[in-house]
Structure 1
Amino acid sequence: MTRHAATAFRAAVLVALATVTAGCQSAEDGAGAPAAAPTRTATTVPTAGPTPSGSPTAVTAANTAQVCQAVDKLILAGSKKIAADSAAATRDETTPEELNARLKRTLAGLADDVREQAARAEDPRIETLLADTARRLDGGARATSPAKWMGETFVDIPPRLARDCRA
């Protein structure tokens, strides 16, 4: 029964990661959500278009693109690390507790990395978005069952970033 629970735990983590990784790759490629992204971008661009009365908006937009790309890479790298750890745990006789500890460490490190990017963001809207993302990741690092948290909460983070973290 314990072995079955460990296998189910690992399977849940891998399914969650497959979903997350697909979301990150779509955002990175720019082709994953053509209908939703242009609509939201179109809404954002006209707002940014009339508002720029000088270079501050242009500077913010440039910084936003850099910060958002860095966060996309961090989320993708973190997802790959979690998937690799989960796969290794399946091969090894890693206990669910050991895998939980690995997941928590990875999520805590990812939260710190995202928080660093939030501090770099010049656009207050992006800074708030990334600070909230870091808080959500902290929640996963504190969760009793980080694998369950990933399936319920983490999977929503990459699509949200793809939609909202844009210049």
Structure 2
Amino acid sequence: MSGNTAIRTAALVTLTALTGACQSTGEETAAPAGTTAPAPSASAAAIGTTAAPSPVTAANTAAVCASVDKLIIAGSREIADDSAAATRQEFTPEQVNAQLKANLTELADDVRGQAARAQDPEIKALITDTADRIDAGARSAAPVKWLTSTFVGIPRRLTDECHA
């Protein structure tokens, strides 16, 4: 498989995985009727409070997490589109890697911008770590391999941990 075909395949597989993982199920917004709310987080228990997050923090967290999801999906689409264009233009593997690194650097910067907006320190740390992981892919000697091995796990982690 040529380098161009490999990156296009990797990008399409990644986009499919990311799109599915980033879709909200709505489960995180409300508990089913007749059930109790989830127990407070360990950090809330450690502080000695059982109060729910403030509406401002919860609203900000939901907005920030949704924005990060949209950025990851849009970035994945851009990678897939650029990969398809690189195949048509017969880019060399070096050109493909440079393009992918540029896409990842831009995505990391955009994600880091959302981290700056987060009011919840745990969410800020999660999103900052996500941006750092994406930066690591941009610095990788083999960004296509990083994309298919590491990047695909980022949306699942965000789905599991980025919520109010």
Q: Shorter-chain TM-score: which interval?
A: 0.7 to 0.9
One-letter identity of the residue aligned with 2:161: D
Q: Which amino acid aligns with 2:136?
A: G
| TM-score, length basis structure 2 | 0.82
Deviation at 1:138, TM superposition (A): 0.5
Aligned to 2:121: 124
TM-score (norm 1): 0.80
SS at match of 1:47: coil
Which residue of the partner structure matches residue 61 of structure 1? 58
Correspondence list, 1:1-167, <5 A: 4-24=2-22, 26-27=23-24, 30=25, 45-47=38-40, 51-52=50-51, 57-167=54-164
**Contact 2:14–2:76 at 8 Å: present in 1 too?**
no
Tell me: CA distance 1:21–1:96, structure 2 relative to 1, closer, same or farther (3 Å).
Answer: farther
Segments of structure 2 that go 5 or more residues without pairing to the other structure are 30-34
Letter in 1 for 2:77: K
- By how many angstroms is 1:43 displaced? 10
Q: Distance in 2 between matches of 1:5 and 1:131?
A: 31
Alpha carbons of structure 1 residues 135 and 92: separation in structure 2 relative to 1, 3 Å: same
Off by >6 Å, runs of 4+ in structure 1 = none
Q: Kindly indicate which of the two structures has a greater share of residues assigned to helix.
A: 1
Residues 95-142 of structure 1: CA deviation (Å, up to 9, x unaligned): 111111111111111111111111110001100100100110000010
For the residues of structure 2 that align with 1:135 and 1:62, how far apart are their CA atoms? Answer: 24
- Displacement of 1:5 after TM fit? 4.0
The runs of 5 or more residues in structure 1 that have no matched partner are none
Aligned to 2:2, the other structure's residue is in SS state helix
Paired residue total: 153
